[in-house]
Structure 1
Amino acid sequence: MASLRRTLPPVNSLVIFEAAARHLNFTRAASELGLTQAAVSRQIQALEASLGAPLFQRQARGLTMTKDGTRLHYATTMGLEYIATVCVDIRRRRGPKDLTVSSSVTFASYWLVGRLNNFRAAHPDVDLRLVASAPVSDLVSAGIDVAIRYGSGQWLGVVAERLFGNEIWPVCSPRYLEGREPPKSVEDLLDETLLHLGAFDRNWVTWEAWFKQLGVTMRPTKRGFTFDNYLILLQTAIRGEGIALCGQRLAEDFIARGDLIRPIETALVSDNAFYLVYPTDVPLSDSAQRFRDWIRAEVR
Structure 2
Amino acid sequence: MSLNGVSLNGLRAFEAAARHLNLSRAAEELCVTQAAVSHQVKALEAQLGRPLFRRHARGLLLTDEGEALAPVVAQAFERMGAALVALREGGPAEVLTVGVVGTFALGFLLERLADFRAGHPRIELRVQTHNNKVDLAAEGLDLAIRFGDGAWRSVEAEPLLAAPLAPLCDPAMAARLAVPEDLARVPLLRSYRAGDWPAWLALAGAPRVVARGPMFDASTLMVQAALRGEGVALAPPCMFTRELRAGRLVQPFAQTLDAGSYWLTRQLSREPTMAMRAFADWLRAECGAMAID
User: Within the alignment, does 1:278 sit opposite 2:271 as a pair?
Assistant: no
What are the within-5 Å matches in structure 2 for residues 39-50 of structure 1?
none
Deviation at 1:136, TM superposition (A): 5.8
Go from structure 1 to structure 2 and tell me whether the alpha carbon gap of 1:119 and 1:13 turns closer, same or farther (over 3 Å shift).
same
Q: Secondary structure at the match of 1:183?
A: coil
CA displacement 1:128-178 (0-9 Å, x = unmatched) = 11011244654244321111011121222221110112211111122434x
Residue identity in the other structure for 2:275? S
What's the counterpart of residue 194 of structure 1? 187
Query: Does 1:91 find its partner at 2:78?
Result: yes
Which position in structure 1 is the counterpart of 2:214? 226
Does the Cα contact within 8 Å between 1:163 and 1:274 map onto a contact in 2?
Answer: yes
The SS at the match of 1:81 is helix
Q: Percent identity at matched positions?
A: 29
Shift of 1:292: 0.7
State the TM-score, normalizing by the size of structure 2: 0.66
RMSD: 3.4
**Alignment gaps of 5+ in structure 1:** 17-38, 45-75
Give me the whole-angstrom Cα distance separating, in 2, the residues matched to 1:88 and 1:125. Answer: 18
2:104 maps to which residue? 107
- Using a 3 Å threshold, how does the CA distance of structure 1 residues 10 and 89 change in structure 2: closer, same or farther? closer
Shift of 1:279: 2.1
Q: Which residue of 2 aligns with 1:132?
A: 129
Query: Bigger CA drift: 83-92 or 242-251?
Result: 83-92
**Mind listing any 5+ residue stretches in structure 2 that lack a counterpart?**
1-38, 83-92, 289-293
The question of whether the paired residues in 1 share the 8 Å contact of 2:177 and 2:183 is answered with: yes
Report if the CA contact (8 A) 1:234-1:244 is conserved. Answer: yes
Structure-2 change in CA distance of 1:236 and 1:98 (3 Å)? same
Cα distance between partner residues in 2 of 1:94 and 1:81: 21
Q: 1:254 to 1:289 in 2, by over 3 A?
A: same
Q: How far does residue 298 in structure 1 lie from its aligned partner after superposition?
A: 0.9
1:110-189 mapped onto 2 (5 Å cutoff): 110-135=107-132, 137-177=134-174, 180=175, 183-189=177-183
Identify if the C-alpha distance between structure 1 residues 83 and 120 changes in structure 2 by more than 3 Å, giving closer, same or farther: closer
Match of 1:110, as an amino acid? Answer: G
Instruction: Work out the CA distance in 2 between the residues paired with 1:188 and 1:299.
Output: 35
Structure 1 length as normaliser, TM-score? 0.64
